[in-house]
Structure 1
Amino acid sequence: MSGKNPDPCAGAMPALIVVGGGLAGALITLAMARWRPELRVELIEAGERIGGEHVWSFFASDVDEAHRALVEPLIASRWDGYDVTFPGYTRSLSTAYASVTSASLDAAIRDALPASALHTGVKVRALGTTWVELEDGTRREAGGVIDARGSHGLAHMAGGWQKFMGQTLRLAAPHGLTRPVVMDARVEQLDGYRFVYCLPFSQTQVFVEDTYYSDDPGLDLPVLRERIGAYAKARGWQVEAVDYEETGVLPVIARGDFARFWQGDVARAGVRAALVQPLTSYSLPDAVRFAAHLTTLDNLSGERLGRTSHDWAANHWREGRFYRMLSTMLFGAAPPQERWRMLARFYKLPEPLIERFYAGRSTLADMARVLVGKPPVPIGAAVAALAGRGRVLADLDPRGAGEVA
């Protein structure tokens, strides 16, 4: 399968090959098509569809005004605000919220790229700064290559996992939701901090995701399906069908050795470059910012792209110290069944602070405000957690590759 548009430059060596058609790779491709249309860019994706099976959601405050034109065509649903619910209280927030689906991402890529520049169902065996070797042995050359294939684990890093199953439920009657429920933590606390996330796509269609901040990356799919069904039943929803299902296991970063993590000269993007908010695992804000930045480069050679992506990711790592500290406290200082208290306290803070937190742009004043007052975890446990090493976030070489600083 490939894009539908004709390509007047078909056969010419591309200026850039993006490997991986997930969110990060797709956004880079779309940004180049929008802001650098004179360049030939090719996208290679192992799956048959761009984006796989995913729903990505974000707050309007996550995306700068200058970059909104890139994201706008991808939005499948949007709402004027959202709710959170914890034992003892519910809060409604006014920050606009939106969702991008795999279908909307796939459609946007196929509309933006000429037929010969999109390669789906194609696996990559190896790659370098200016070349890609496909599984069938074909070698493709380019001015530069970006590896955006994603990652289920992060070498030389430690922390925990955010894991989930989401289902789009078709109901027999309206569900009654008018806006997303980003966190419903009134559910039984199992396997770490557990909450349910709901997106009302229509009056009778709702996406329900059962999410865990867990020490263990394992997913028991039959059990999760049962829990989603039980949640729907408890809300009085009669499920006629499950229209869609997705699962995910995302690293929550508490600490690591960035220098050891980043090895090699090939440019990286997305989770493969650790471009995520360390505590929430949100990747869309960073993916948008990095994609837009790449379009401003006057030199897209493989060597320049490698240096640029390394420096961008290294700066992101330095700026993420505060969020990694909170991740360490969440996983190390609070008993698993009590982790919800940290998030409950956080959601009593001012709304602009919450917006900056999710966007990964907390100010020093924000950081102080998050930490002052009665702590949601015992002081002694917090200190002990900050001195700990954490659990490795990848299956690594037993000779010591899993050790983290």
Structure 2
Amino acid sequence: MNRHAIDISILGGGLAGGLIALALAARRPDLNLLLIERGERFGGNHVWSFFASDIAPAQTWLVEPLIAARWDGYCVHFPRRSRDLSTPYHSVTGETLDAALRARLPGEALLTGTAIAAATPTSVTLADGRHIACGGVIDARGAGTLPHMAGGWQKFAGQLLRLAAPHGLTRPIVMDARVEQVDGYRFVYCLPFSDRDIFVEDTYYADGPELDLPAMRQRIAAYAQARQWRVEAVTYEETGVLPVIATGDFEAFWHASDPALAPALARAGARAALVHPLTSYSLPIAVRFADRLCTLDNLSGEALGRVSYAWAREHWRQGRFYRMLTRMLFGAAVPSQRFRVLERFYGLPAPLIERFYAGRSTAADALRILAGKPPVPIGAALASLVGGGRPLAPLGERA
């Protein structure tokens, strides 16, 4: 390929990279794009869910065609609180993302089953030795490692269960924390895709990233049995380990991957720490960033690097309050009692909860969240805010 054949190469065909490709294909059809994915299909085996209130009306065009299922609300369950909320809830799957990319981009713009050996702001070297020169490069290959940051992990295993009889749910269960609390804060997440197909995910806010998949499968089976759901088949399975960020040095993080690379390589998604610090939630942030890229006049590698750095730095600045809450959750709460933090949170007004998940909490929201008796020991809470309390898992240790 010559220097002018590709305008932008996007590395990684997951959520962040896929949304950028779809946004540019729709709003900048003049560009020649190349989306490179290591797996055999875009999106992999993943389910991404979001609240309708997370996406600004002007940006729904990007995500609306990807929605695989939608519900008119959701519920949560804790030992001392259950609640139904009316905020619409939607899910996107790897299958719908893959289908949309193949429908909207030409075949020559899509490259799967291809590993990347190296990248610069204007070139990509594939593992098979091929070299691709292009106008700009965006790296959206996932977090990999987050040097100079610390916190914990949200890890999960989910299965799509085909049941012998209807499960009886009409809305998702976003958190069911009435289960045994092991390995940190544990809850079960349920998405009723049809009357007999339900996605059940076993999720933990844990100090370490290790996945005990056999144990998690057993717990999913036990949860289904407790609900008297007779499972005919497991038709799909996914696992994940996501960073939950409590503190860090953003400048050191941004320049750690290759300090000698100037200008810096543009990044997106978790690669740029563009996640909600406490929930690891990324879809609304990925939508906003993809939409922003469509407005740029200059899409050179150098310009993309500057824009992604500025966007990620501002996101980091706006995440201070959520990182403080993460420090309290991991540094002050006894692991088996972490559920009390969320149990209290879900007693707050629904609009506040919506703004929290969207990453748009106001100063009044912050005061309301922190007001009253904290659900963790006061001394431990104060210690966590000044760097004391329990040690936080170093995120950079995960390769």
**TM-score, normalising length: structure 2:** 0.96
Q: Distance in 2 between matches of 1:51 and 1:210?
A: 21
Q: CA deviation at 1:11?
A: 9.8
**3-state SS in 2 of match to 1:385:** helix
| Deviation sequence 1:295-343 (CA, Å, 0-9, x none) | 0000000000000000000000000000000000000101001000000
Q: Distance in 2 between matches of 1:104 and 1:155?
A: 33
Task: Give 1:360's aligned amino acid.
Answer: G
User: 2:146 corresponds to which residue?
Assistant: 154
**3-state SS in 2 of match to 1:394:** helix
Q: Distance in 1 between matches of 2:130 and 2:144?
A: 27
Q: Distance in 2 between matches of 1:352 and 1:343?
A: 16
Q: Distance in 1 between matches of 2:304 and 2:145?
A: 23
Please tell me whether residue 373 in structure 1 is matched to residue 372 in structure 2: yes
Task: Give 2:397's aligned amino acid.
Answer: D
Please tell me whether residue 210 in structure 1 is matched to residue 202 in structure 2: yes
**3-state SS in 2 of match to 1:46:** coil
Q: CA deviation at 1:37?
A: 1.1
**3-state SS in 1 of match to 2:6:** coil
Please tell me whether residue 99 in structure 1 is matched to residue 100 in structure 2: no
Q: Distance in 2 between matches of 1:280 and 1:73?
A: 25
Q: Distance in 2 between matches of 1:235 and 1:191?
A: 23
Q: Distance in 2 between matches of 1:222 and 1:208?
A: 15
After superposition, where does 1:300-339 map in structure 2 within 5 Å?
300-339=299-338
Please tell me whether residue 257 in structure 1 is matched to residue 249 in structure 2: yes
After superposition, the CA RMSD in angstroms is 1.4
Q: CA deviation at 1:236?
A: 0.4
User: 2:63 corresponds to which residue?
Assistant: 71
Mapped contact 1:79–1:98 kept (Cα < 8 A): yes
Mapped contact 2:49–2:89 kept (Cα < 8 A): yes
Mapped contact 1:19–1:148 kept (Cα < 8 A): yes
**3-state SS in 1 of match to 2:151:** strand
Mapped contact 1:152–1:250 kept (Cα < 8 A): no
After superposition, where does 1:271-290 map in structure 2 within 5 Å?
271-290=270-289
Of 394, 397, 401, the residue aligned with 2:396 is 394
Q: Distance in 1 between matches of 2:161 and 2:107?
A: 34
Of 227, 240, 252, the residue aligned with 1:235 is 227
| Deviation sequence 1:213-242 (CA, Å, 0-9, x none) | 000110111110000000000000000000
After superposition, where does 1:153-232 map in structure 2 within 5 Å?
153-232=145-224
Q: Distance in 1 between matches of 2:120 and 2:316?
A: 24
Mapped contact 1:27–1:288 kept (Cα < 8 A): yes
| Deviation sequence 1:77-133 (CA, Å, 0-9, x none) | 000000000002210001000000000000000001101110001111000000000
User: 2:20 corresponds to which residue?
Assistant: 28
User: 2:258 corresponds to which residue?
Assistant: none
Mapped contact 1:181–1:198 kept (Cα < 8 A): yes
User: 1:143 corresponds to which residue?
Assistant: 135
Q: Distance in 1 between matches of 2:72 and 2:55?
A: 16
| Deviation sequence 1:137-184 (CA, Å, 0-9, x none) | 111011100000002431110000000000000000000000000000
Q: Distance in 2 between matches of 1:186 and 1:165?
A: 18
Gaps of 5+ in 1: 1-8, 398-405
Gaps of 5+ in 2: 256-260
Q: CA deviation at 1:286?
A: 0.5
Number of residue pairs the alignment of both structures matches: 389
Q: Distance in 2 between matches of 1:89 and 1:315?
A: 36
User: 1:6 corresponds to which residue?
Assistant: none
Please tell me whether residue 51 in structure 1 is matched to residue 47 in structure 2: no
User: 1:121 corresponds to which residue?
Assistant: 113
Task: Give 2:283's aligned amino acid.
Answer: L
Q: Distance in 1 between matches of 2:133 and 2:344?
A: 52
**3-state SS in 2 of match to 1:355:** helix
User: 1:267 corresponds to which residue?
Assistant: 266
User: 1:109 corresponds to which residue?
Assistant: 101
**3-state SS in 2 of match to 1:262:** helix
Mapped contact 1:270–1:287 kept (Cα < 8 A): yes
Q: Distance in 2 between matches of 1:270 and 1:396?
A: 17
Q: Distance in 1 between matches of 2:240 and 2:398?
A: 20
> Once the two structures are aligned, what percentage of the paired residues are identical?
66
Please tell me whether residue 363 in structure 1 is matched to residue 365 in structure 2: no
Q: Distance in 1 between matches of 2:8 and 2:274?
A: 20
Q: Distance in 2 between matches of 1:155 and 1:24?
A: 20
**3-state SS in 2 of match to 1:195:** strand
Residues 10, 120 of structure 1: alpha-carbon distance in 2 compared, 3 angstrom cutoff: farther
Which stretches of structure 1, 4 residues or longer, exceed 2 Å deviation after superposition?
Answer: 9-12, 387-391
**3-state SS in 1 of match to 2:103:** helix
Q: CA deviation at 1:12?
A: 5.2
